């Protein structure tokens, strides 16, 4: 049974799925860099310890980021799953945890790294779109690909329609990968 920490910044639908579909892994902590992240409700619901390191009147975002990753390094989970965590993981941390930090990205990498992937895929008139689970390296969405899932991109697709189709794929793929890596 591998231990996993999940890092979020917002809605947390992937976190919820990872919690619901955990077979071979156990989520032992949730971290957020946003105090208002909606996903924190799922950590509460599943009674998982959660930690918020958000910019406040006392500490800058950068100071809080340093503290978050110090705390996470001390916890030392087997795997670290980024799930909508909107911040760059520090290089020294990546080097300390080789092949243990995983991300889900809403595009078929190496196409469309970065933000606004769905609209960019529509604009590029792609025939298909999807999501990628990959190891995190020092680049933006450049780490080794572990698994992908794809769906058709329809000519009439809006950004929202496409995003919700891809999100369904994300919710299948991410727990599947974590269960496989933990088996
Ligand atoms: C997902 O689309 C994920 O691929 C991307 O950020 C989004 C997070 O959504 N990295 P949620 O917070 O898991 O609902």
Q: What is the pLDDT of residues 45-80, one digit of tens each?
A: 999 999 999 999 999 999 999 999 999 999 999 999
Question: Which ligand 1 atom minimizes the distance to the CA of 11?
Answer: 12
Among residues 105, 129, 134, 171, which one is catalytic? 105
Q: Does the pTM exceed 0.85?
A: yes
- pLDDT digits over 99-136, tens only? 999 999 999 999 999 999 999 999 999 999 999 999 99
105 given a catalytic annotation:
yes
DSSP string, the chain: -EEEEEEESS--HHHHHHHHT-SSEEEEEEEES-TT-TTHHHHHHTT--EEE----SSS-HHHHHHHHHHHHHHH--SEEEESS--SPPPHHHHHHSTT-EEEEESS-TTSS-SS-HHHHHHHTT-SEEEEEEEE--SSSS-SPEEEEEEEE--TT--HHHHHHHHHHHHHHHHHHHHHHHH-
Cα(163) to centroid of ligand 1, in Å?
A: 10
């Amino acid at each position: 049974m591998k231990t996993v920490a999940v890092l979020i910044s917002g809605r947390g639908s992937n976190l919820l799925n990872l919690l619901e579909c955990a077979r071979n892994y156990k989520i032992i902590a949730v971290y957020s860099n946003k105090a208002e992240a909606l996903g924190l409700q799922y950590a509460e619901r599943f009674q998982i310890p959660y930690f918020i390191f958000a910019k406040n009147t006392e500490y800058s975002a950068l100071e809080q980021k340093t503290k978050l990753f110090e705390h996470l390094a001390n916890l030392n989970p087997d795997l670290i799953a980024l799930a909508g965590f909107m911040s760059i993981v520090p290089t020294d941390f990546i080097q300390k945890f080789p092949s243990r930090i995983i991300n889900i990205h809403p595009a078929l990498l190496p196409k469309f790294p970065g933000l606004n992937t769905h609209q960019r895929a529509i604009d590029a008139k792609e025939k298909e779109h999807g999501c990628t689970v990959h190891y995190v390296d020092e680049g933006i969405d450049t780490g080794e690909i572990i698994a992908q899932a794809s769906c058709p991109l329809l000519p009439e697709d809006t950004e929202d329609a496409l995003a919700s189709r891809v999100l369904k794929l994300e919710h299948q793929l991410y727990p599947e990968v974590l269960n496989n890596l933990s088996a």
